[in-house]
Structure 1
Amino acid sequence: MPADPFRLLILGGTTEAARLAAAALKRWPPDRLAVITSQAGRIAPLNPPPGALRVGGFGGVAGLAAYLRDQAIDALIDATHPFAAVVSQNAAEACRQSGVARLMLIRPPWQPGVGDRWTEVADMAAAAVALRQESRRVFLTTGPGALPAFSNLSDIWFLLRLFQPPATPLPIAQHAVVVARPPFTVATEAALISQHRIDTLVSKNSGGPTDAKLAAARAAGIRVVMVARPAAPEGERVATVAEALDWLAARLQEPASARGRST
């Protein structure tokens, strides 16, 4: 009787997660590997990743631990956004409780280069403080969840980039909204900066290839307030899809009895 395929859960929503799912399914046949990608569901995926797709939250640590057991997951790769701190912490604890192998695929952060005018801050509250110093027209690219941190800056005008039109009034006194999804080009970012007379860009240090806004800010000579990532949980981590595939290959070589899955 053939053995059941190795079952991999990818916590996704990023380009890296989709690339990992595609590469894994290309490398191993369906009778050897089954891939499930889970996305939070805040934004409907325009291009669903290959393999099975699960949309929505798990209900915290207990919900994810139950899912790992119920779905007989052999390994979990956390390829979420570097700022999805709660999801990553929950995954770490759920895997610990369930005995499921876990890997974090974390893209390298951006680094300032020649010509950059970065002010690096620890969090959104610190970013708001930094804006008080010299900013008057700000391009805010940190997403809707960060807006409350800037709600008291009534003397600053904000250009807010959102992936979806806001369903409720935004807590920013002076603002305009541009609705757009990546990828963005340096030319379009430069046009926004010029058209709206932006003097400061606020960005999370997400890393990855989406750095057109940083190149445009550098060319325009404007300041960038860069928000540092939250600390990732302890555990194995890699920076590339290729390294994640190597880790997965090693797990696939282990006998089923050594996978450590709780029952």
Structure 2
Amino acid sequence: MTAHVLILGGTTEARRLAAELAGRPGLRVTTSLAGRVTRPAALDGAVRTGGFGGADGLADWLRAHHVDALVDATHPFAGTITANAARAAAATGVPATVLRRPGWRPVPGDRWHDAGSLDGAAAALPGLGRRVFLTTGRLGLAAFAHLADLHFLVRSVEPPEPPLPPDTDVLLARGPFTVAGETDLLRAHRIDVLVTKDSGGAATAAKLTAARELGLPVVVVRRPALPDGVTAVPDVPAVLDRLGLGASGQAPPFGSLRSR
């Protein structure tokens, strides 16, 4: 009997997990993508694109496609999806695991300023600098649109959605980035403050090192809290362990997972 694992994806970790599961006997894996990136990286296993229609829609999909285990490996800031996944898992009895890469932590020399939201980050900027490197992604930039006296360099994988600040340059690029490249970029654009979400991971962490070496302040938007009662594991091996897959390559009796 084949067990079906649904991964809510869009991250490097989700892609690694799909590759790990797709080659295992007794398993089939489906990765669901939100569809916000027009050319996502290749994935092992089946792929679906688009939303489910909230928690109820996801619960219906879990039932209709006989999903035996759910892994939420979405971006750390995809709070709505994570909440919907928790509700759908509870409604269906499908065992669920949240995979979240660890967040960044400051080291000596960092000049970090915590913000609880994009609005909070925008409020902090006028006192920190006038030329801003904004790396929070293409969504939510309306929070900065009223800052007409500041210059913004906005970097994202896809073209950002308006409204944008009036004085904005857009740089389309996908990580990973190097410290040398980020340092050159900050110098070339005369950046004096960096804004980032606490996405974690190595692919986009080089900007933090570059900012530290240049003595620049960094506004760090902290992650939303996980839903009540939900805990996360930090990497793919931890997901395999949580699901009882281990390293043997054999699918577990997922029916027993439902009773945990």
TM-score, length-normalised on structure 2? 0.92
Please show how residues 114-129 of structure 1 align to structure 2 within 5 Å.
114-129=108-123
Q: Residue 155 of structure 1 corresponds to which residue in structure 2?
A: 149
Deviation readout 1:198-250 (Å, 9 max, x if unpaired)? 00000000111120111111111111000000001232421111111112225
Q: Residue 66 of structure 2 corresponds to which residue in structure 1?
A: 72
Aligned AA for 1:243? Answer: A
Instruction: Give structure 2 stretches of 5+ with no counterpart.
Output: none
Find the aligned partners of 2:88 and 2:254 in 1 and give their Cα distance: 22
Please show how residues 73-92 of structure 1 align to structure 2 within 5 Å.
73-92=67-86
Question: Residue 164 of structure 1: CA displacement?
Answer: 1.9
Percentage of identical aligned residues: 48
2:69 and 2:254 in contact (8 A); partners too: no
Q: Residue 247 of structure 1 corresponds to which residue in structure 2?
A: 242
1:102 and 1:236 in contact (8 A); partners too: no
- Of 158, 170, 179, the residue aligned with 1:177 is 170
**Following superposition, which runs of at least 4 residues in structure 1 exceed 6 angstroms of deviation?**
none
Q: Residue 188 of structure 2 corresponds to which residue in structure 1?
A: 195
1:163 and 1:181 in contact (8 A); partners too: yes
Question: Residue 127 of structure 1: CA displacement?
Answer: 0.6
- Of 8, 14, 31, the residue aligned with 1:17 is 14
Deviation readout 1:36-69 (Å, 9 max, x if unpaired)? 0111110034422101111111111111111000
Question: Residue 170 of structure 1: CA displacement?
Answer: 3.7
Find the aligned partners of 1:23 and 1:185 in 2 and give their Cα distance: 27
Q: Residue 105 of structure 1 corresponds to which residue in structure 2?
A: 99
Question: Residue 259 of structure 1: CA displacement?
Answer: 4.7
Please show how residues 27-106 of structure 1 align to structure 2 within 5 Å.
28-29=24-25, 32-106=26-100
Q: Residue 215 of structure 1 corresponds to which residue in structure 2?
A: 209
Three-state SS of the structure 1 residue aligned to 2:15 is: helix
Deviation readout 1:153-206 (Å, 9 max, x if unpaired)? 11110001121234x654211111111111111122111100110000000001
Q: Residue 238 of structure 1 corresponds to which residue in structure 2?
A: 233
Find the aligned partners of 2:67 and 2:40 in 1 and give their Cα distance: 26
Find the aligned partners of 1:239 and 1:169 in 2 and give their Cα distance: 34
Three-state SS of the structure 1 residue aligned to 2:139 is: helix
2:122 and 2:144 in contact (8 A); partners too: yes
Instruction: Give structure 1 stretches of 5+ with no counterpart.
Output: none
Aligned AA for 2:194? Answer: L
